[in-house]
Amino acid sequence: MHHITSFAVAGATSIVVDGSLDVVAAYDLRCCVDAALRQRARFVGLDLTRVTHADLDGAEGLRRCCAAAVASGVALTITGCSRPLRADLAVLELKTRRARSRAHTSF
């Protein structure tokens, strides 16, 4: 379960994610980021202090949000990255590296 809140003030949008960052939360987060970009926000801040868990789909959704902001020339910052989120991202990175390593050695 997740909850995402968003508010905008003077060209800046703040988005707070609370709960799991999974495929559904990633979709909702991307919708919030896209709305901020359509409203011509110059700055988008993602507060991940209250993220309790992230899976691969959530991490990919977060990456896509960052890429969309960069492509639009918008400054995006991530603040308050929770300890559980950092741990989950580290595990996902390790799994990705192992998979890439296996792919390169299988030739």
Q: What CATH number is given to the structural domain containing 57?
A: 3.30.750.24
Residue of 45, 70, 56, 68 whose CA lies nearest to 23? 56
Q: Does residue 11 sit within a domain?
A: yes
* pLDDT tens digits along 25-47: 999 999 999 999 999 999 999 99
* pLDDT tens digits along 63-97: 999 999 999 999 999 999 899 999 999 999 998 88
How far apart CA 65 and CA 71 sit, in angstroms, is: 10
Provide the CB-side half-sphere exposure for 90 (13 A, CA): 7
Split into its structural domains, the chain has a count of: 1
Q: Does residue 42 sit within a domain?
A: yes
Tell me which residue range forms the domain holding 95: 2-102
Q: Does residue 107 sit within a domain?
A: no
pLDDT at 106: 59
Q: Concatenate the DSSP letters of all residues of 16-34 into one string.
A: EEEEEESHHHHHHHHHHHH
